[in-house]
Amino acid sequence: MTKKRKRARDVYTLADLQNWREAKPPIRLGVFGHPVAHSLSPKIQNAALKHHKIDIRYAAFDIAPDQLGEALRLACELKFVGVNLTIPHKIAALEHLDEVDPAARKIGAANVVAIREGKLVGSNTDGAGFGRAIREEFSVDLQDLRVMVLGAGGAACAIAAECALAGCERLVVANRNAEKAMELVEQLRVYFAGPRVLGPVPRLQAIGLDEAALRFQIANVDLIVNATPLGLHPTDASPVPARLLAPHLMIYDTAYALRATAFERAANEAGARSANGLSMLLHQAALSFELWFAREAPLEVMRAALR
């Protein structure tokens, strides 16, 4: 098997799926992404599998965007239990799946696929995982918050939909490509049609990622969520500079790291509370495990594996 050793973690490729050779214990679960070498999902899921004495293994697969359809088809042929999808596959995956559950269809993105009777069935655990993470990190519920989401990709769609479904006070989507932010906001408008009034600012708004627009919005939100890939690389700059942040804010960076991300460091500099995506990773992983095996995920075992 052509295995690339990356930071002491095994990363498989489409070529491996095409020329599959059984390992022991057999690999029957995985995460498809590009890049994917940074993923901590194998660590968490393998700890859960071991805890439940399920004799299969979960691995990372570096799958380029134009390889996704074939990789999913091969996973099905090879009788995988399922896969997780990460950047950049969550939205594109929908066209390759046989079934998509109603929540993932509404969100327009899937981060987990279960393979049932030869069918690829997509779901989304990112949104619910995010809601649980915010409660755990900041002891608040989304319904009480004015939220700004940075990004309009797969993760941002799930997070924004979760905020909308929870009835959050206010939602702003800020994206480099403002048209995509607008599209996401239009999909969610139905959830903000109620009579609640919030002073002069609209309850639902799309903006570009420019400093003037961000500065204005930051005075009118409580929670800022980074759902762009800025932060995946240790040398990335903060998606919002510290000079724009303020102490009343909660900052949640979906990028995860064992050390503080650039966004968390900026929050710290501004006196704001912050957390990174480890907690969301944990909760979406636990929900994925429960979808695959219809049994309770060993949350504390999975949390310990992350440490």
| Ramachandran assignment for 108, one of left (phi > 0), alpha (psi -120 to 50 degrees), beta (any other) | left
Q: Which residues contact 15 (CB under 8 A, 6 or more apart)?
A: 2
Taking CB atoms, the residue at the shortest distance from ligand NAP is 153
- Helix, strand or coil, per DSSP, at residue 189: helix
Six token digits for residue 10: 């095994």
Q: How far is the CB of 31 from ligand NAP (least distance, A)?
A: 11
Out of 154, 171, 217, 225, the residue judged to bind ligand NAP by CB under 6 A: 154
**Judged by CB, which is closer to ligand NAP: 17, or 254?**
254
Out of 40, 161, 223, 230, the residue judged to bind ligand NAP by CB under 6 A: 230
Q: How far is the CB of 41 from ligand NAP (least distance, A)?
A: 9
Residue 152 within binding range of ligand NAP, rule CB under 6 A:
yes
Residue 228 within binding range of ligand NAP, rule CB under 6 A:
yes
Report the length, in residues, of the chain: 307
Residue 131 within binding range of ligand NAP, rule CB under 6 A:
no
Residue 126 within binding range of ligand NAP, rule CB under 6 A:
yes
- Helix, strand or coil, per DSSP, at residue 11: strand
Out of 26, 35, 208, 229, the residue judged to bind ligand NAP by CB under 6 A: 229
- Helix, strand or coil, per DSSP, at residue 64: coil
- Helix, strand or coil, per DSSP, at residue 210: coil
CA-closest candidate to residue 284, choices 13, 3, 48 = 48
CA-closest candidate to residue 151, choices 119, 108, 184, 122 = 184
Residue 175 within binding range of ligand NAP, rule CB under 6 A:
yes
Choosing from 6, 24, 53, 90, the catalytic residue is: 90
Annotated active-site residue 119? The verdict is: no
Backbone angles phi, psi at 145, to 5 degrees: -115, 150
Residue 260 within binding range of ligand NAP, rule CB under 6 A:
no
Catalytic residues, which ones? 90
Contacting residues toward ligand NAP, per CB under 6 A: 87-88, 90-91, 126, 151-156, 175-177, 180, 209, 227-230, 232, 254-256, 277, 280-281, 284
